[in-house]
Structure 1
Amino acid sequence: MQTFTATEAKNNFGNLMSAVEKGSVSITRNGRAVAILVAVETGKAPMSEAEIKKLLTLYADGLMSRHDVQDESGLAFDEILERMALFGLTLPIVRTIDRYDASQKALYDEIFSHE
């Protein structure tokens, strides 16, 4: 979650709004969180760290897509990477060839076949 001080939020309102569109934003005053802003479209309250860790573990295990994690958590991809590092999780290995349909796989084999 991105954080702005109250002064930064006031002086950089456009940047604050852009950040809120990407995910939840914390506003601090004197070093303490005083507010959390959430985009209207999502209307979701911020997820707990435990809920975020559960989603990121599913992603790391290859059981959930990055886009699904972003949709569920409201985190931007850079925030996902930061949280994964904090939780000691590794990025999943994605084998895109397994996701091709038959015609795409045939084209792939035709182009990359070394026979």
Structure 2
Amino acid sequence: MSDIQDYISTPKYETFSYLPAMAPEKIRRQIAYMVSQGWNPGIEHVEPARADAYYWYMWKLPMFGEQSVDAIITELEACKRAHPGHHVRLIGYDNYSQSQGSSFVVFRGR
């Protein structure tokens, strides 16, 4: 229980943000889950000062129909390289319900 962060003193940005940072293998499993659900991955980024804003910048277009976890991770890392100080999050768009099935920050900026 001691690994859970204090909700008031640390900012929260989507699913899993109250938990300790995920290891790369756990991130890979979350991406695999999104793909297995048929959700389309989309990548967004924003400056840390604007992280509580409703709208983040979209990195390219959503990756409609992408089945490769490695391709998604490659795009996440490319976004991080292009915007090193930004938060980078991954969104799983659910076509059926026309909403976000999942969304979580993969890389935190400074």
Same-fold status (TM-score > 0.5): no
With the length of structure 1 as denominator, give the TM-score of the two structures.
0.25
Higher helix share: 1
- Where relative contact order (Cα < 8 A, 6+ residues apart) is larger, the structure is 2
- The structure having more radius of gyration, on CA atoms, is 1
Q: TM-score, normalised by structure 2?
A: 0.26
